[in-house]
Amino acid sequence: MRRKPQDLTLSQAGRAKFVIYARVSSKEQEKEGFSIPAQLKPLREYSKEKRFAVTREFVDVETAKQSGRSGFQEMVKYLKDNPDLKGILVEKTDRLYRNFKDYVILEELGVEIHLVKEGEVISKDSRSHQKFIHGIKVLMAKNYVDNLSEETRKGQTEKADQGIYPSYAPLGYLNVECDKEKVIEPDPERAPQVRQLFEWYATGQYSLSDLVHKTAEAGFTFRRTGARISKSTVARLLGDPIYHGDFEWDGKMYRGKHAPIVSKELWLRVQNVLAERERPRPKRREFAFTGLLKCGHCGCSLTAEIKKGRYVYYHCTGHKGKCPEPYIREEDLGRQLGETLKAVRIDEDVLEWLVEALRTSHDEEKAHHDQMIASLRRSYDRIQDRLDKMYVDKLDGNITEEFYEKKRAEWVAEQDRIMANLDAHQNANRNYLDKGVELLELAHKAYSLYVTQTPHEQRRLLDCVLSNCTYSNGQVTFTYRKPFDSLAVTNAAYQREKAISPQKDDLLDIWLPR
């Protein structure tokens, strides 16, 4: 008998409600075990097992170029609109988040997250250690996206080597397909306008702002958005070698195959005028800690100035009236900010132990790659075996020289493909852990590093670890960024316990979730 929808609702009444989320990149989609159905199946089974009611499923398929995540955004909206929902079921951390913003959005929603494959549940009540490891995994998810872009970049560099501009056509050019290859060619409408810009500027009679007015008068706009041409666009355009036939890609110059819009001679004349007219003005001095702190009295930013020609002092801008906070010397402020790093300074033995814990928690991930590596090695050896046998056949005169060469080329190409794949899996194994270890080492070394650094370097380090810094009554207050917040809490508990009973056997267990 077919069940009516109402029955279903009734049978689900009283159960905790969840949504399912799955994500895959188009590249992975082709590989076994990564497809959307392969992700959804265990999630559905898990919800059945736990007797959850799944009210909706959200799915994203994305490419390295397009980062649109309509499914994710829809899900966030749906969760907001339905506060009775308990949480999200998802395969692994790297399926759910692509960056810290996603992480913060979901944390603010306060929903429970079941990482089904990792066997973890993250909620408001999670132990700080668990949240900490989770935070590291979020960082790694980001790394996963970086790797994806890396793959795209490789293909693009190959195109650049062939003289083909490998990205979106700049203003004045169009992306077109030619012999199944994406290339650029002059935009019949805009190329003459670009050339006109070069000709105007080469006369030396116009400033960049003049050119902005002239383009507006001429109705010269971007093709896709219809947006006007800004001053920075004009500056960039005039300095771009692509218009005379060369292009820069990934820090290297390439000789392009595309049709130039201006002659090299005109382009060089424009460069001379640019150098002459836009001579750099002396730079304003930038202070290391400005923009980092707000005044605790008035909420204004802290700014800095030099006194007696060499001492840097920080103080409230006082935009909202006179501020009672006295000035503070850069050295004093730096020292206070540095103190905050002491709380995340983990002991050497804790570092070693945590790295080990991280390694164990990723054993499953590693097992998958190891399995792939073993299977790829077997395929490689099988082909090698065939090659050897065929060589004997050739010597014995069983096959022709021609047949041998043809087959050999095929099989060697296959071996090359396998080797590339093998490398990818070996790198995945390494990358996965390296990020987490890097983060732990940063926590371990942060303070000792800080005291040897220049204020500008110190600022970079502080930006990694702190947020919401304020300064009032001579005191810095702040919050730690994730995952340093949970690290600091657990570390404090550990240090307290260690001070009381340094010989305790299970001292390190404080870092474990209970």
In whole angstroms, the minimum distance from the beta carbon of 306 to Zn ion comes to 20
Residues in the chain: 514
**466-472 and 293-295 strand pairing:** parallel
Q: Which residues contact 153 (CB under 8 A, 6 or more apart)?
A: 250
- Enter the tokens of residue 502: 């340094």
Pick the stretch among 65-73, 96-104, 270-278, 308-316 that binds Zn ion (CB under 5 A): 308-316
Q: Please, what is the minimum distance in Å from the beta carbon of residue 472 to Zn ion?
A: 8
Residue with smaller CB distance to Zn ion, 298 or 346: 298
In the complex with Zn ion, which residue's Cβ is closer, 22 or 316?
A: 316
Single out the segment in contact with Zn ion by CB under 5 A; choices: 151-159, 181-189, 318-326, 397-405: 318-326
Q: Which two tokens stand for residue 417?
A: 């493909």
Nearer to Zn ion among residue 299 and residue 513 (C-beta): 299
Q: Which among 421, 378, 361 has a CA at the least distance from the CA of 32?
A: 421
Cis peptide bond N-terminal to 483, omega within 30: yes
Nearer to Zn ion by Cβ, of 129 and 294: the residue is 294
**Minimum gap (Å) between residue 323 Cβ and Zn ion:** 3
**94 contact partners, CB below 8 Å, separation of at least 6:** 137, 140, 141, 144
Q: Mark 263-302 with x for binding to Zn ion (rule: CB under 5 A) and - for no binding.
A: --------------------------------x-xx----
Q: What letter does residue 221 receive in the DSSP assignment?
A: B
State which residue, 143 or 290, has the beta carbon closest to Zn ion. Answer: 290
| Contact region with Zn ion (CB under 5 A), list: 39-47, 283-291, 315-323, 437-445 | 315-323
Q: Can residue 316 be called a binding residue for Zn ion (CB under 5 A)?
A: yes
Hey, what's the torsion of the CAs at 18, 20, 21, 26, to 10 degrees?
A: -170
- The nearest distance, CB 300 to Zn ion, in angstroms, is 5
| Token pair 């994406």 in the structure block, residue | 182
Whether 69 and 60 have beta carbons less than 8 Å apart is answered as yes
Helix axes 455-465, 401-450, angle to 10 degrees: 100
Residue whose CB is less far from Zn ion, 304 or 354:
304
The CA-atom distances, in angstroms, between 350 and each of 48, 133, 405, 483, 507 are: 39, 14, 58, 16, 10
- Extract the runs of DSSP E, i.e. beta strands, from 397-507: 466-472, 475-480
Q: Are 313 and 327 in contact (CB under 8 A)?
A: yes
Closest CB to Zn ion among residues 21, 313: 313
Contact stretch for Zn ion (CB under 5 A) within 179-187, 253-261, 319-327, 432-440? 319-327
What is residue 292's DSSP assignment? T
Please, which residue, 384 or 473, has the CB nearer to Zn ion? Answer: 473
Closest contact distance (angstroms) between CB of 307 and Zn ion is 18
Applying the rule CB under 5 A, the residues between 6 and 35 that interact with Zn ion are none
Measured from the CB atom, the residue of 163 and 318 that comes closer to Zn ion is 318
Q: Which is nearer to Zn ion, 31 or 320 (CB)?
A: 320
Contact 337, 289 (CB under 8 A): yes
How do 17-25 and 87-90 pair as beta strands? parallel
Q: What single DSSP character describes residue 390? A: H
CA dihedral 142, 148, 153, 159 (to 10 degrees): -160
Least separation in angstroms between residue 301's CB and Zn ion is 9
CB of 314 to Zn ion, least distance (A): 11
d(CA 295, CA 297): 6
**What angle separates helix 484-500 from helix 128-161, to the nearest 10 degrees?**
140
Minimum distance of Zn ion from residue 333's CB (angstroms): 15
Kindly state the smallest distance separating residue 318's Cβ from Zn ion, in Å: 6
Least CB distance from residue 480 to Zn ion, whole Å? 24
From 40, 174, 235, 323, residue interacting with Zn ion (rule: CB under 5 A): 323
- Rounded CA-CA distance 129/360 in Å is 15
CB of 473 to Zn ion, least distance (A): 11
The CA R_g of the chain, rounded to the nearest whole Å, is 30
β partners of residue 320: none
In the complex with Zn ion, which residue's Cβ is closer, 61 or 323?
323
Stretch that binds Zn ion, among 96-104, 108-116, 154-162, 312-320 (CB under 5 A): 312-320
Give the nearer residue to Zn ion in terms of CB position, either 156 or 301.
Answer: 301
| Site size toward Zn ion, by CB under 5 A | 5
By C-beta, is 273 or 323 nearer to Zn ion?
A: 323
Q: Least Å distance between CB 340 and Zn ion?
A: 21
**Shortest separation between residue 315's beta carbon and Zn ion, angstroms:** 8
DSSP alpha helix (H) spans, 68-127: 70-81, 93-96, 100-109
Give the phi and the psi of residue 450 in degrees, each rounded to 5.
Answer: -55, -45
Which range, of 7-15, 193-201, 266-274, 311-319, touches Zn ion by CB under 5 A? 311-319
Helix (H, G, I), strand (E, B) or coil at 479: strand
CA 63 to chain centre: 14
- Residue 437 tokens read as 């270890």
Which spans of this chain sit near Zn ion (rule: CB under 5 A)?
295, 297-298, 316, 323
